[in-house]
Structure 1
Amino acid sequence: SSQQHLSTTVLSANESDANTDPVAHQKALNALLIQQVQKSLGGRVKLIWTGAAPLSLTVLQFLRHASGAHVIEGYGQTECSGLSTCQLLRDPSVGHIGVPAHCNMIKLVDVPDMQYFAKDNVGEICIKGPNVFKGYYRDEEKAREVIDRGGWLHTGDIDWPTSNY
């Protein structure tokens, strides 16, 4: 298996290169590890898109370094056809949900029970656009709970803008 091959290669490299420059040795091992990760992904991956939940910083950084691909996080939900925001392609920063998709408008609204106020740049994310659903099948009451009169989908998710965008 790839894992056994990698382990064997690393062990033999450690034995044969014990007296060499440790920095150069580590760089060579890192390159070998990256090759194995890329090979296990098929060797041709250029873009990894993630969603559903934010990746941990550790996982995101590992994927970005070891895969050799751009890794982009997106945000959305079923009620708005999946994607509502995403990071820009070459944005190396982390900890944010990116910019609105071209078809969406995004706003924050107050959540007084939680002491979140849009004027303070924190609140519930609301989404409006042609990709937002019209309602739940045979459940108009539930749809009215999440879509306001202005057509904004109230996601129930809390966020705050970052200074990046």
Structure 2
Amino acid sequence: MRLMALLLGLLALTPVYAAGVLSVANTVFTLMPQGRPAAISVSNNGDAPLYLDVVQQRVLNPGELPERRVAIQNVPQPDLLIPLKQLVVHPGQTRKIPVNVIFTPPHTTVWRVAFRQREALSGTGVDSASFVKLSVSYGVLIYHIGTSEKGS
């Protein structure tokens, strides 16, 4: 009986970790001129909410390394817009984020959309200095086909 009480006491002292697990349905897709509306589908398969920053960037040199990207706010006339900057996805929830086409560009443009977790790993009853901070990002690559390439 004392052993059982000791084991239960030890279990109570063990830190419990809850984590959200993000899943992105399509990581690469193509938007055709006059095509159907698109959406990015994200799901939380974990047991804790995910607090995400949504970052949209235009790729200036597709196919080259290193990639040169420009934040959406620094693009003079963006042809695509992801309307969210922050997102909360609860456990078991799936969210569809619309990809709004502002106009069809004359030439193909390439965009990256990244979902970055806003919280660091943490635990209860443990010194926070012992944790490693991870910055995990999940990305989507979008090819927006221009009007001059639609017949190709």
TM range (shorter): under 0.3
Structure ID, larger Rg: 1
Considering Cα pairs closer than 8 Å and 6+ residues apart, tell me whether 1 or 2 has the greater RCO.
2
* TM-score, normalization by structure 1: 0.22
Higher helix share: 1
Higher strand share: 2
